[in-house]
Amino acid sequence: MAWQNERIDMNVYSQGEVDKWVYSTCNICSVGCGCYTAVKDGKIVGIKGNGDHPTNRGRLGPKGENQWYANNSTDRLTTPLIRDADGKLKPASWDEAMNLIAEKAKASIKEKGTNSIAIYSTGQGFMEDYYSIAKIGRAGLQTHLLDANTRLCTATTEFCLLQSFGADGTPASFDDIDETDTLMLFGHNVAETGTVLFERIMERKQKTGKPYLIVVDPRKTLTAKEADLHLQLYPGTNVALLNGLVNEILKSRNVDEEFISNHTIGFEEMEASVADWNLDKTSKVTGISIETLEKAAHQLGTTASLVSTTLQGTFQSADATTACVGINNLHLIRGLIGKPGSGPLHMAGQPSSSANRTAGGVGTYPAQRNHSNPKHIREIAELWNVDMMTLPVGPEKGIEEQISMIEKGEIGLFWNIGTNSMVSLPNRQRARKAMENTFVVVQDPFLTETTAVADVVLPAALWGEKEGTMENADRTINIVRKAVEPPEGVKSDFDILLDFARRMDFKDKDGNPLITYTTPEECFEEFKRVSKGRPCDITGMSYDRLEKERGLRWPVKDEQSKGTPRLYADFNFSTTVDYTQSFGKDQFTGRALTKEEFEQKNANGRAILHPTHYLEPAEQPNDEYPIWLTTGRLVWHWHTRTKTARSPHLHVAAQHGYVEINTEDAKALSIVQGETVKVSSPRGWIQVPARVGDSVQKGLVFVPFHFGSWEKKEAANELTADFTDPLSKQPVFKQSACKIEKIRQEHKVDDGESLEYIAEQYGLSVTDLKEANSLTNDYQISMGQTLEIPLSIINVPIPPYMPYREKI
Ligand SMILES: Nc1nc2c(c(=O)[nH]1)N[C@H]1C(S)=C(S)[C@@H](COP(=O)(O)OP(=O)(O)OC[C@H]3O[C@@H](n4cnc5c(=O)[nH]c(N)nc54)[C@H](O)[C@@H]3O)O[C@H]1N2
Ligand SMILES: Nc1nc2c(c(=O)[nH]1)N[C@H]1C(S)=C(S)[C@@H](COP(=O)(O)OP(=O)(O)OC[C@H]3O[C@@H](n4cnc5c(=O)[nH]c(N)nc54)[C@H](O)[C@@H]3O)O[C@H]1N2
Ligand code: SF4
Ligand SMILES: [Mo]
């Protein structure tokens, strides 16, 4: 264990002693820190880290510490809303709202057929919600249109794991990070997005010098600043970089030949796909010097252990799955998987997005069952006591495909649960327009940009007000206990789903109710039975054990098992025909392979090496839009800020959207620090202050996606493109093209006007005025000359460098 000194982070706001501390797990990110919730007079008044939890040993990050303010926010929704004939959302009773939804669902099935209802959920709910969505969706509504914001988030994790190893479930765990010699963070800004995990890494590094840290990111992030080797590649060149590195490792024969021949298939084809990626070509395409590439290849080729993480810098690209498969290839050819300190650790982002994949609320059937394998569908039909023929097995549809279906009028009901999709979807104006074409239900604790397009709004309970389990990024299932009652009028997602099932009168094949469980724990017990025999077998877990043992990593097959820190320790991969979760997809086109095609590969327990051909990003800077646009996160905010903007501390730390632009680019355009500029792309435009600096490379700008109001023009997703990776169907948020324009008014210099005088008139500093006009001295202005005046200078706050880091 890397942790050496214990520290309990706490943020409590209470006069006098609190009444109780309730066991919980942080509901913000996928690290899954253990915590306790402070309760006084029936309200949550604070939080503290759980010193006994192996993930965080008492620590919490800024968002974790501040998440509970949202619970007490005075603008919580406390009654359902229905849009009336005037287009206004009006309060309604639960009966009115739920009956209307049931009516719309029945009408949709009648008019458009069974696959016409979409449930678009979240990675921030509980396993029990997802399992219920899976059962209600597939056996009740008979729809395969189940997707979630996990499509924007960790779909690629799932698909790269299916391709290489035959089943979901990330091989390595955080424990391996504590042991590894080399840690490669590939498109993962963990310092801002997984703060406690970053501390865990840095504490070990400061004490022991290990691990050697390689960071792959086009920006000089806070994470990259701590790297031993920063591979600052051009956007969208992940696969090129990996091909160059793998080729170099193959050439130097730094490979585990025995592992390759005993435990993998597909070597020759993979080798051929990287063969012409010499360092010269790799350097030209990625922009990384040959010397740096050599260093990286040497480190990766000789390290005795390696953990590679991937996150949105890899997943939100057009070649997302290929890049992640490339990382799997690298681990396989070096035999660095299934061993202590080694393995790919394809991350998750949200606190329970992995749980949604495991429970089957998206994509595949519950407990990693293969919808293309009739044997698996039969198993589920038997477990649910329904007729196998009623279970939909059509290919899953990602949210972007669902939007196209809505545009075509094929979806009669779109049920949006726990996601602010009108801010988080790419090319959001298109998505908004589509929503006019269907009946939209939004289930959220707050009014949001998405409730603006809702026909019905259901007020949902928040974390702390309900019980359930979550699965973090390393397969650990944690329990969240209920600390307080939800506000009057508010229901949990779980209770809303069960209420819907009752109103729809879903039955099993003997005429009994389809859903017989009534509490989250009973639901968990049912899902345990469904998981038996599958890779994610959790038969040995229970709510009590999850609390007593502070989370357990699946598989946990019996009550004696303490969980599984790493998968494939026996090098037996999930690729036998009747066990595999998927028959895989064609690595280039994304076409689903048939059972016969999969059988022909004869993987039979061996991992699959795939060719990794590099394709240039579909949209690239061009004459009209000459600059790369990338989007992402800030340490202070969670996504669309519905929680973090309700915390006074976090709100104050970062209140505006902005665009970060390289110093040289700013100079060439004479853009001044803080000046409001217009950023446009083929989809739309925003108007935000410029932050000038060197953390973005030349030719690239960065826009945080947290700021999404319809009124202020600052949402990143006005700009982003909506095409997707062919295998995972994950949208490309990280690379598109844009242009930056100044918004200036003109000032004609009058006789005797000095720069000081003019600057003061517009509330500018002389330096800003000079920079804005590329003036180097005061004598360059004369009467009649036209000066450009920046629209406004906003002080873009640069967060103090990681205040929590001082506490390591
Ligand atoms: N503070 C905070 N933390 C969060 C979240 C949050 O909203 N706020 N959200 C959580 C969720 S759901 C997620 S999914 C994670 C996301 O966590 P991260 O993936 O760490 O965060 P991002 O900022 O989206 O992107 C990571 C990095 O990808 C880089 N990148 C861009 N293009 C490329 C490229 O072509 N190649 C490579 N190699 N890198 C590239 C960006 O410069 C950026 O630094 O964070 C989780 N944690
Ligand atoms: N440009 C750009 N866009 C991106 C990304 C990017 O990097 N760049 N990243 C993408 C990624 S990785 C992600 S994960 C998504 C995140 O995008 P979203 O999931 O849309 O963002 P959130 O703000 O987390 O939305 C969660 C919603 O659920 C509500 N909520 C909170 N708790 C509960 C609950 O218990 N029940 C219910 N019913 N509702 C609840 C919140 O109020 C909020 O409205 O954004 C994606 N979009
Ligand atoms: S690192 Fe993630 S899980 Fe841990 S406290 Fe921060 S937000 Fe919560
Ligand atoms: Mo995410």
Percentage of the chain modeled with pLDDT above 70: 98
pLDDT at 808: 41
| Rounded CA separation 494/741 (Å) | 48
- Ligand 2 pocket mutation, candidates 122, 400, 681, criterion most atoms within 8 A of CB: 122
29 lines ligand 3 (CB under 6 A): yes
| Rounded CA separation 640/653 (Å) | 15
pLDDT for residue 629 is more than 50: yes
Q: What angle do CA 730, 143, 151 make, to 5 degrees?
A: 15
Mean pLDDT of 397-405: 96
Residues 6+ apart with CB under 8 A from 661: 671, 690, 691, 692, 693, 696, 701, 740
pLDDT at 794: 79
- Ligand 2 pocket mutation, candidates 71, 642, 735, criterion most atoms within 8 A of CB: 642
Tokens of 245: 């590195």
Pick the closest to residue 460 from 482, 445, 472 (CA basis).
Answer: 445
Scored b (16 or more CB within 10 A) or e, 150-179 reads bbbbbbbbbbbbbbbbbbbbbbbbbbbbbb
Ranges of each domain in the chain: 171-346+574-608, 627-743
Residues 6+ apart with CB under 8 A from 507: 513, 514
Tokens of 513: 């109710």
CB burial of residue 436 (10 Å; 0-12, 13-18, 19+): exposed
Q: How far is the CA of 350 from the centre of ligand 3 (A)?
A: 10
Mean pLDDT of 47-64: 96
Report which protein residue has its CA nearest ligand 3's atom 6: 61
Report which protein residue has its CA nearest ligand 3's atom 8: 64
419 lines ligand 2 (CB under 6 A): yes
pLDDT for residue 803 is more than 60: no
The predicted-structure confidence for 644-661, as pLDDT tens digits, reads as follows: 999 988 998 888 899 999
Strand 627-632 with 786-790, pairing: unpaired
Q: How far is the CA of 184 from the centre of ligand 1 (A)?
A: 15
286 lines ligand 2 (CB under 6 A): no
pLDDT at 15: 85
- Closest ligand 2 atom to the C-alpha of 633? 7
For residue 211, is the peptide bond before it cis, meaning its omega torsion is within 30 degrees of 0? Answer: yes
| Rounded CA separation 546/553 (Å) | 10
pLDDT for residue 802 is more than 90: no
* Average pLDDT of the chain to the nearest whole number: 95
347 lines ligand 3 (CB under 6 A): no
Report which protein residue has its CA nearest ligand 1's atom 40: 313
- Closest ligand 2 atom to the C-alpha of 353? 14
This prediction's pTM: 0.97
470, 16 contact by CB (below 8 A): no
195 lines ligand 3 (CB under 6 A): yes
- Residues touching ligand 1 (Cβ under 6 Å) are 29, 63, 153, 186-189, 192-194, 216-219, 221, 235-236, 238, 311-314, 317, 349-350, 630, 632-633, 635, 637-639, 734-735
pLDDT at 428: 97
Mean pLDDT of 259-274: 98
Instruction: Label residue 5 by pLDDT band (50, 70, 90).
Output: low
Q: How far is the CA of 805 from the centre of ligand 1 (A)?
A: 19
CB burial of residue 254 (10 Å; 0-12, 13-18, 19+): middle
pLDDT for residue 187 is more than 50: yes
Scored b (16 or more CB within 10 A) or e, 230-241 reads bbbbbbbbbbbb
Pick the closest to residue 775 from 796, 754, 752 (CA basis).
Answer: 754
Q: How far is the CA of 603 from the centre of ligand 2 (A)?
A: 38
Mean pLDDT of 721-743: 96
Per CATH, the homologous superfamily of domain 171-346+574-608 is Dimethylsulfoxide Reductase, domain 2 (3.40.228.10)
Instruction: Label residue 527 by pLDDT band (50, 70, 90).
Output: very high
Mean pLDDT of 364-393: 96
Radius of gyration (Cα) for the chain, nearest Å?
A: 26
Report which protein residue has its CA nearest ligand 2's atom 23: 640
Scored b (16 or more CB within 10 A) or e, 68-99 reads bbbbbeeebbebbbbbeeeeebeebeeeebbe
Instruction: Label residue 801 by pLDDT band (50, 70, 90).
Output: very low
Report which protein residue has its CA nearest ligand 3's atom 2: 29
Placement of tokens 């435990």 in the chain = 263
- Closest ligand 2 atom to the C-alpha of 316? 7
Q: How far is the CA of 33 from the centre of ligand 4 (A)?
A: 17
pLDDT for residue 259 is more than 90: yes
Instruction: Label residue 318 by pLDDT band (50, 70, 90).
Output: confident
pLDDT for residue 792 is more than 60: yes
Mean pLDDT of 427-436: 98
The enclosing H or E element of 213 equals strand 212-216
| Rounded CA separation 611/271 (Å) | 7
550, 130 contact by CB (below 8 A): no
Mean pLDDT of 55-68: 95
The predicted-structure confidence for 107-124, as pLDDT tens digits, reads as follows: 999 999 999 999 999 999
Residues 6+ apart with CB under 8 A from 77: 444, 445, 446, 447, 457, 459, 490
61 lines ligand 3 (CB under 6 A): yes
Partner residues linked to 442 by β-bridges = 416, 457
Q: What angle do CA 573, 316, 479 make, to 5 degrees?
A: 60
Neighbours of ion ligand 4 (CB under 5 A): 153, 349
pLDDT at 16: 87
Pick the closest to residue 373 from 195, 538, 580 (CA basis).
Answer: 580
Query: In 209-263, which residue ranges form alpha helices assigned H by DSSP?
Result: 222-225, 238-251, 257-263
Q: How far is the CA of 731 from the centre of ligand 2 (A)?
A: 15
Q: How far is the CA of 425 from the centre of ligand 2 (A)?
A: 9
Does 171-346+574-608 match 627-743 in CATH topology? no
pLDDT for residue 475 is more than 80: yes
pLDDT for residue 610 is more than 90: yes
Tokens of 587: 């690595």
For CA atoms 700, 703, 705, 708, give the dihedral sign.
negative
Q: How far is the CA of 47 from the centre of ligand 3 (A)?
A: 12
Q: Among 340-344, 695-699, 803-807, which is the least confidently predicted range?
A: 803-807
The predicted-structure confidence for 77-101, as pLDDT tens digits, reads as follows: 999 999 999 999 999 999 999 999 9
Q: Chain-centre distance of CA 717, in angstroms? A: 15
For CA atoms 506, 512, 518, 521, give the dihedral sign.
negative
Instruction: Label residue 14 by pLDDT band (50, 70, 90).
Output: confident
Report which protein residue has its CA nearest ligand 2's atom 11: 153
- Closest ligand 3 atom to the C-alpha of 59? 5
| Rounded CA separation 431/434 (Å) | 5
Mean pLDDT of 568-577: 98
Strand 43-49 with 264-265, pairing: unpaired
| Rounded CA separation 704/658 (Å) | 7
DSSP for 129-187?
A: HHHHHHHIIIIIS----EEEGGGGTTHHHHHHHHHHHSS-S-S--HHHHHH-SEEEEES
Q: Among 389-398, 467-476, 489-498, 655-664, which is the least confidently predicted range?
A: 389-398
pLDDT at 147: 98
- The ligand that comes nearest to the alpha carbon of residue 424 is 2
Mean pLDDT of 747-759: 94
Pick the closest to residue 153 from 360, 350, 361 (CA basis).
Answer: 350
Q: In the 8-state DSSP scheme, what is residue 360?
A: T
- The ligand that comes nearest to the alpha carbon of residue 654 is 1
- The ligand that comes nearest to the alpha carbon of residue 196 is 3
Q: Within a 13 Å sphere around the CA of 263, how many CA atoms are in the beta-carbon half?
A: 22
Q: How far is the CA of 11 from the centre of ligand 3 (A)?
A: 14
Q: Among 214-218, 460-464, 649-653, which is the least confidently predicted range?
A: 649-653
pLDDT for residue 734 is more than 60: yes
- Ligand 3 pocket mutation, candidates 60, 643, 802, criterion most atoms within 8 A of CB: 60
- Closest ligand 2 atom to the C-alpha of 420? 20
Cα distances from 519 to residues 515, 525, 530, 681, in angstroms, run 11, 10, 17, 48
pLDDT at 4: 60
Instruction: Label residue 1 by pLDDT band (50, 70, 90).
Output: low
- The ligand that comes nearest to the alpha carbon of residue 493 is 2
| Rounded CA separation 711/278 (Å) | 50
691, 793 contact by CB (below 8 A): no
Tokens of 653: 């730390």
The predicted-structure confidence for 633-692, as pLDDT tens digits, reads as follows: 999 999 999 999 999 889 988 888 999 999 999 999 999 999 999 999 999 999 999 999
Report which protein residue has its CA nearest ligand 2's atom 17: 424
- The ligand that comes nearest to the alpha carbon of residue 445 is 2
63 lines ligand 3 (CB under 6 A): yes
Q: How far is the CA of 153 from the centre of ligand 4 (A)?
A: 4
CATH architecture of 627-743: Beta Barrel (2.40)
Placement of tokens 């990259």 in the chain = 224
Q: How far is the CA of 186 from the centre of ligand 1 (A)?
A: 10
Partner residues linked to 214 by β-bridges = 184, 229
Amino acid at 271: E
Q: In the 8-state DSSP scheme, what is residue 25?
A: E
Q: How far is the CA of 634 from the centre of ligand 1 (A)?
A: 9
Q: How far is the CA of 196 from the centre of ligand 3 (A)?
A: 6
Instruction: Label residue 65 by pLDDT band (50, 70, 90).
Output: very high
For CA atoms 14, 466, 487, 493, give the dihedral sign.
positive
**Phi/psi of residue 537, nearest 5 degrees:** -55, 120
312 lines ligand 2 (CB under 6 A): yes
196 lines ligand 3 (CB under 6 A): yes
Mean pLDDT of 693-697: 94
Pick the closest to residue 692 from 670, 719, 714 (CA basis).
Answer: 670
- Ligand 1 pocket mutation, candidates 311, 615, 695, criterion most atoms within 8 A of CB: 311
196, 60 contact by CB (below 8 A): yes
Q: How far is the CA of 312 from the centre of ligand 4 (A)?
A: 8
577, 601 contact by CB (below 8 A): no
Pick the closest to residue 634 from 677, 691, 675, 699 (CA basis).
Answer: 691
pLDDT at 6: 72
- Closest ligand 3 atom to the C-alpha of 61? 6
Q: How far is the CA of 374 from the centre of ligand 4 (A)?
A: 32
Q: How far is the CA of 93 from the centre of ligand 4 (A)?
A: 33
Q: How far is the CA of 684 from the centre of ligand 2 (A)?
A: 21
The predicted-structure confidence for 148-177, as pLDDT tens digits, reads as follows: 999 999 999 999 999 999 999 999 999 999
Report which protein residue has its CA nearest ligand 1's atom 8: 638
Cα distances from 67 to residues 28, 78, 464, 482, 628, in angstroms, run 8, 19, 10, 15, 33
Tokens of 493: 């997602």
